[in-house]
Amino acid sequence: MDVRADAFDSVQTTRTKLTPRQVNLVHFALAMGGFAIGTTEFAAMSLLPYFAATFGISEPHAGYAISAYALGVVVGAPVIAVLAAKWSRRMLLLTLMMVFAVFNVMTALSPTYGSMVAFRFLSGIPHGAYFGVAMLVAASLVPANARSQAVGRVLIGLTIATVIGVPVATWIGQALGWRSGFAIVGVLAALTVSLIWFYVPADQPTKEASMLRELGALKRSQVWLTLAIGAIGFGGMFAVYSYLSSTLTDVTHVPSYVVPIVLVFFGAGMTVGTYVTGRLADRALMPTVGGLLLWSLVSLALFPFAAGNIYAVTLVVFMIGCGGGLGTALQTRLMDVAGEAQTLAAALNHSAFNMANALGPWLGGMAIAGGYGWTSTGWVGVALAIGGLFFWALSLLTDGTRRA
């Protein structure tokens, strides 16, 4: 008997009550939240030069606003998952998205850089818990052997944001000012609240739910190793993406209106990577994780060489985006190794990725400030991908079940 599958099946309480059409509507509602979150997370990076100019600070300094959001996710995800252990998942999703809407609007109204950093931190607090709970809800509505595809459907919202939401927010930000980009996210979050209200079925928390049960995830070494893979191995993508706008204008020498077009290719890569990963991970989970880390390592190593040519760099940016499928695979891995502490483990996955979101821009900014140039972010990414592969190998070696 697979105790990990049993632990996951224990939360599947609504699968048989919904028709396939209703399941699709639930997945759509949850993905809309991912669209809103993805738009603000990645648009903040592409709008970085503009709010840096508004507040009269350097771009590496402005990058702290991105790190502040990421740290908000890191702090918020586990705290909310534990404190809200006895909440119904539907009510928690509604509350998180309402809070997310409010603080994105406040970001748009920030009078100073300091207040913007504070509001970015507060905007990040609901992020990880929302994704963690949304993915558990999505996966609970399908058979266990289709979990990765259900998780991928929620993440598709985030990846489509990088294809549509981020370029549109960037274009609007260029035309109307960067503040409008964050105001749009507030509208998207309000729309998500409405969709969740109408389509996500009401639920009751399990009687056994408690803070102590959720904290049980922290006793499992495989949970920590899986989180380390994401926290380190995903950092390279953020190191490059955070300074991609400046790299394109200062190294590739393209006009500013070309930048959103390249961002579309990054988003297309994430969408393709997430879709393909969802199918591969349901067949061979850990080999898929390792393959994605190798793919990212190669793509990031190519970035410094491709940056001088718009066609080459666009292709490489697409390849780097494909590595974003790692999130889907690691989310499913956590469902396998977390036992009964599903909510905390799912939320911690997004803390891990936003540790990467904080670590990547920070190390990339240090490399740039140290005089190594905009393209040095690619080499920072290579080092982080190697770190992710180390923890992946350690997880395989120490996993007593040897389950792929």
CA angle 279/284/289 to nearest 5° reads: 85
The verdict on residue 260 lying in a domain is yes
The verdict on residue 204 lying in a domain is no
d(CA 58, CA 86): 45
In this prediction, residue 212 carries a pLDDT of 55
The answer to whether residue 191 scores a pLDDT higher than 90 is: yes
* 182-215 CB burial, b ≥16 within 10 A, e <16: bbbbbebbbbbbebbeebbeebebeeebeeebbe
The answer to whether residue 214 scores a pLDDT higher than 50 is: yes
In this prediction, residue 6 carries a pLDDT of 43
The verdict on residue 12 lying in a domain is no
Among the residue ranges 134-148, 214-228, 336-350, the one predicted with the least confidence is 336-350
Among the residue ranges 142-146, 150-154, 381-385, the one predicted with the least confidence is 142-146
The answer to whether residue 47 scores a pLDDT higher than 90 is: no
**CATH code, domain carrying 151:** 1.20.1250.20
The verdict on residue 164 lying in a domain is yes
Query: Domain span at residue 318?
Result: 18-197+213-398
In this prediction, residue 13 carries a pLDDT of 45
d(CA 246, CA 275): 29
The answer to whether residue 207 scores a pLDDT higher than 70 is: no
pLDDT digits (tens, 9 = 90+) for 220-241: 788 889 999 999 998 989 899 8
In this prediction, residue 390 carries a pLDDT of 96
d(CA 17, CA 29): 18
- Which residue reads 């503009």 in tokens? 50
- Token pair in block for residue 69: 């959001």
* pLDDT > 70 fraction of the chain, expressed in percent and rounded: 90
Higher pLDDT, 21 or 215: 21
d(CA 300, CA 234): 11
Domain count of the chain? 1
What is the average pLDDT across 161-175?
82
Higher pLDDT, 133 or 215: 133
The verdict on residue 208 lying in a domain is no
The verdict on residue 133 lying in a domain is yes
pLDDT digits (tens, 9 = 90+) for 349-376: 777 887 887 789 889 989 998 889 999 9
What is the average pLDDT across 140-145?
75
Q: Kindly report the pTM of this predicted structure.
A: 0.73
d(CA 62, CA 176): 20
The verdict on residue 271 lying in a domain is yes
In this prediction, residue 384 carries a pLDDT of 96
pLDDT digits (tens, 9 = 90+) for 305-343: 999 999 999 999 999 999 988 888 888 888 777 776 667
The verdict on residue 403 lying in a domain is no
- Which residue reads 């507040």 in tokens? 55
Whole-number average pLDDT of the chain:
84
In this prediction, residue 401 carries a pLDDT of 53
Question: For residues 340, 341, 347 and 352, what is the CA-based torsion angle, rounded to 10 degrees?
Answer: -110
First to last CA, the chain: 16
The answer to whether residue 259 scores a pLDDT higher than 90 is: no
In this prediction, residue 165 carries a pLDDT of 82
CB of 163 within 8 A of CB of 267? yes
What is the average pLDDT across 3-28?
62
Long-range Cβ contacts of 302-311 (<8 Å, 24+ apart): 302/378, 303/240, 303/375, 303/377, 303/378, 303/381, 304/375, 304/376, 304/378, 304/379, 307/247, 307/251, 307/252, 307/374, 307/375, 307/378, 308/251, 308/252, 309/252, 310/248, 310/252, 310/254, 310/258, 310/262
- pLDDT confidence band for 157 (50 / 70 / 90): confident
